[in-house]
């Protein structure tokens, strides 16, 4: 087959000592960048672009380095989610739901190893999807107009219910709060600033990384400060690490979750503007619907870790489809990679596969190599990562605060964002006190912004005709799923009391 021959050529390009070394470096740096709160894949790649320039790398090795960072960051984001309940970046948000409870049960090592394997499965099959389906999948992306995107994001919201709390009203309140935050900034369809109070820093809205770090990391610090926990309590709180290799039994139980999530995540990744966050969210909520028979999700169910991790890594691979096949970024990180291509005098676009096959196939081969490297690197490193848990909170929490401040300042270079972050920290602390889940807030910010934009676009195009939202079969299908997803838990939900996310939310 042509494709396999091209891929073999790609491996021939990628398998030099230099490129392997770059991939290893990229994977390592990426994992660390992903694990640090505040630094996500897109910032990580952007920060390392100068390194690629300084080393004077030609296009292919430069891309190999940067995509390794990209994949590495997608792996790394889970580490702080699981160990500290602080998402390292936005796609790792869902991993906190079951990852942190598992760590609290003394199964941190298992959770990390399992999520590493799930990441590998997601990324591995997504890369194969990229190899064989890129041209066909681009057509899927073209089926989505503003109306279909709106239906897709509505579907995401419809399945939000019950994801993070036993109290539906509080989850709904949190999501509404997120939606409200998403409206801050200049409205693209009218050019008018909203809720910005004449403050130029708010014109672009609230950066969700700032919100995540504030809500999760800083509020954790505040809770710690409030409780004045000393050494005695800390010792009592010390967690067990547990085994670092997941049992075959768990792997067998999570196989279904991983494969379903890979497919969902990959599709979300392919759609420009949806990206990895939607991928991991949809993967988690679908898996919860499909297999949460005993209501164990949110209390440390391994499938609740496998699903979002497979989903977000598959989405990372999927996001490369529109980037390589259309020259359109599917996520923030691919936008940075695209800019990198431009800077290397490669024109992205539909002809990239024909004009620069060496770059494309070298890159794809590097993805396979990087993915294997990441798996091999991550499993042994698990025992190192979990040692974070052995650090007493009185040392760990100041470090978390420091990393948060440095990370956010490093991205935006503005002290205003630091104040916004502290503001979110206070909000997060209050919400924790009130037992309001934090995850829906972030989902509201992440998804609400896109949902509104696409509704407004659809309305502009149709001159305000609401029926345009249900005009295509795809839109109708998405609406049907959204309605089922919303109604079904209400009908059946009363029989099963939704399990609580975890005990620490309130206090």
Partner 1 sequence: MKKLIGLAAAFTLASSISGFAFEPTNPECIAPANPGGGWDFTCRQVGKTMQDLDLVPGTVQVTNLAGGGGGVAYAEVANKRADDNNLIVAASSATATRLAQGAYPGNTMDEMRWLGAVGADYGIVAVAADSEINTLPELMDKIKADATSVSIAGGSAVGGWDHLKVLLAAKKSGIDDVRTIKYVAFDGGGEAVTQLLAGSVQAFTGDASEAKGFVDSGDIKVIAVLAPERLEGDFSSFPTAKEQGIDVIGANWRGFYGPGKMSEEAYDFWTDAIAKTYASDEWKEAMAQNGLAPLDMTGDEFQAFVADSVANITDLSKQIGLIQ
Site of interaction with partner 1 (CB under 8 A): 42-43, 45-46, 49-51, 53-54, 141-146, 186-191, 198, 200-204, 272-273, 322, 326-329, 332, 335-336, 338-339, 342-343, 345-352, 411-414, 416, 453, 457, 460-461, 463
Task: Give the whole-angstrom CA distance, residue 184 versus residue 197.
Answer: 10
Query: Minimum distance between the CB of residue 456 and partner 1, rounded to whole angstroms?
Result: 8
Using DSSP's 3-state secondary structure scheme, residue 257 falls into helix
CB nearer partner 1, residue 380 or residue 410: 410
Selection from 319, 313, 311, 303 nearest residue 263 by Cα: 311
Minimum distance between the CB of residue 309 and partner 1, rounded to whole angstroms?
A: 25
Strands (DSSP E) along 96-239, which ranges? 185-187, 192-194
Given the complex with partner 1, which of 249 and 345 has the nearer CB atom? 345
What's the CA gap between 35 and 80, in Å, rounded?
A: 6
Nearer to partner 1, 192 or 235 (CB): 192
Q: How many C-beta atoms surround the C-beta of residue 54 within 10 A?
A: 8
Residue 197 or 495: the one with the smaller Cβ distance to partner 1 is 197
Least distance to partner 1, CB of residue 463, Å:
5
What are 35's strand-pairing partners? Answer: none
Residue from 69, 68, 27, 80 nearest 47 by CA: 69
Burial of 84 (0-12, 13-18, 19+ CB in 10 A): buried
For partner 1, the closer CB: 411 or 446: 411
Q: How far is the CB of 65 from partner 1 (least distance, A)?
A: 13
C-alpha 322/C-alpha 326 separation (Å) is 5
Q: Which CB atom, from 113 or from 475, has the smaller least distance to partner 1?
A: 475
User: Considering beta carbons, is residue 111 or 202 the nearer one to partner 1?
Assistant: 202
Residues 6 or more apart whose Cβ sits within 8 Å of residue 334: 319, 320, 322, 323
Closest separation in Å from C-beta 14 to partner 1: 23
Cβ proximity to partner 1, 142 vs 399, nearer residue:
142
Choose between 142 and 390: whose C-beta lies nearer to partner 1. Answer: 142
Burial class from Cβ neighbours inside 10 Å (0-12, 13-18, 19+) for residue 95 reads buried
Number of H-type helices and E-type strands within the chain: 22, 2
Token code pair at residue 343? 């800077």
Rank residues 106 and 327 by Cβ distance to partner 1 and give the closer one: 327
Residue 221 or 475 having the CB closest to partner 1: 475
Q: How far is the CB of 200 from partner 1 (least distance, A)?
A: 4
Q: Is the dihedral of CA 406, 108, 333, 221 positive or negative?
A: negative
Q: How far is the CB of 239 from partner 1 (least distance, A)?
A: 33
We find the least distance from the C-beta atom of residue 210 to partner 1, in angstroms, to be: 11
Closest CA to 117 of 216, 238, 228, 252: 252
Q: How far is the CB of 461 from partner 1 (least distance, A)?
A: 5
Q: Minimum distance between the CB of residue 183 and partner 1, rounded to whole angstroms?
A: 15
447 CB neighbour count, 10 Å cutoff: 25
How far apart, in whole angstroms, are the C-alpha atoms of residue 436 and residue 505? Answer: 8
Residue with tokens 């079951």: 98
Alpha helices by DSSP H, listed for 15-58, are 17-35, 41-54
301: helix, coil or strand?
coil
Angle value at C-alpha 83, between 330 and 380, nearest 5 degrees: 85
CA–CA distance, 296 with 302 (Å, rounded to integer) = 9
Q: How far is the CB of 268 from partner 1 (least distance, A)?
A: 16
CB of 356 to partner 1, least distance (A): 11
Any bridge partners for residue 193, and if so which? 186
In sequence order, what are the beta bridge partners of 186?
Answer: 193
Choice between 11 and 409, CB closer to partner 1 = 409
Q: At what angle do helices 332-343 and 41-54 cross, to 10 degrees?
A: 20
């Amino acid at each position: 087959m042509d494709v396999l021959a091209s891929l073999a050529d790609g491996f021939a390009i990628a398998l030099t000592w230099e490129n392997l070394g770059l991939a290893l470096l990229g994977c390592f740096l990426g994992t660390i960048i992903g694990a640090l709160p505040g630094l996500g894949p897109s910032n990580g790649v952007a920060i390392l672009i100068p390194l690629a320039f300084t080393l004077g790398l030609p296009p292919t090795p430069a891309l190999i380095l940067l995509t390794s960072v990209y994949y590495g960051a997608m792996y790394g984001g889970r580490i702080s989610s699981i160990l500290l309940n602080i998402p390292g970046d936005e796609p790792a948000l869902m991993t906190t739901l079951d990852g942190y409870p598992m760590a609290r049960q003394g199964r941190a090592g298992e959770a990390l190893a399992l999520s590493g394997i799930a990441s590998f499965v997601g990324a591995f099959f997504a890369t194969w999807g990229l190899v064989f389906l890129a041209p066909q999948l681009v057509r899927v992306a073209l089926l989505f107009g503003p109306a279909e995107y709106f239906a897709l994001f509505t579907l995401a919201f419809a399945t939000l219910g019950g994801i993070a709390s036993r109290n539906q009203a509080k989850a709904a309140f949190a999501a509404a709060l997120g939606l409200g935050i998403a409206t801050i900034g200049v409205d693209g369809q009218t050019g008018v600033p909203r809720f910005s109070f004449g403050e130029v820093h708010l014109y672009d809205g609230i950066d969700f990384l700032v919100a995540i770090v504030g809500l999760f990391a800083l509020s954790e610090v505040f809770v710690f400060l409030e409780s004045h926990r000393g050494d005695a309590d800390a010792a009592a709180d010390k967690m067990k690490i547990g085994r670092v290799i997941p049992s075959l039994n768990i792997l067998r139980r999570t196989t279904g979750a991983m494969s379903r999530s890979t497919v969902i995540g990959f599709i979300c990744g392919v759609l420009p503007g949806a990206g990895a966050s939607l991928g991991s969210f949809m993967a988690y909520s679908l898996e919860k619907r499909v297999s949460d028979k005993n209501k164990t999700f949110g209390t440390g169910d391994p499938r609740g870790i496998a699903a979002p991790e497979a989903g977000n890594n598959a989405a990372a691979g999927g996001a490369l489809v529109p980037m390589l096949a259309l020259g359109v970024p599917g996520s923030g990180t691919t936008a940075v990679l695209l800019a990198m291509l431009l800077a290397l005098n490669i024109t992205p676009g539909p002809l990239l596969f024909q004009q620069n096959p060496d770059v494309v196939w070298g890159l794809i081969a590097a993805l396979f190599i990087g993915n294997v490297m990441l798996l091999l690197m991550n499993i042994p490193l698990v025992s190192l990562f979990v040692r974070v848990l052995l650090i007493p909170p009185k040392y760990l929490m100041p470090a978390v605060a420091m990393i948060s401040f440095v990370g956010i300042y490093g991205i935006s270079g503005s002290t205003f964002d630091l104040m916004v972050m502290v503001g979110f920290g206070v909000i997060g602390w209050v919400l924790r006190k009130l037992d309001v889940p934090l995850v829906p807030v972030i989902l509201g910010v992440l998804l609400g912004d896109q949902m509104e934009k696409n509704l407004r676009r659809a309305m502009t195009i149709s001159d305000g005709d609401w029926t345009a939202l249900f005009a295509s079969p795809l839109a109708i299908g998405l609406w049907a799923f959204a309605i089922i997803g919303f109604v079904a838990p209400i009908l059946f939900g009363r029989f099963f009391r939704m399990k609580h996310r975890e005990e620490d939310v309130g206090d």
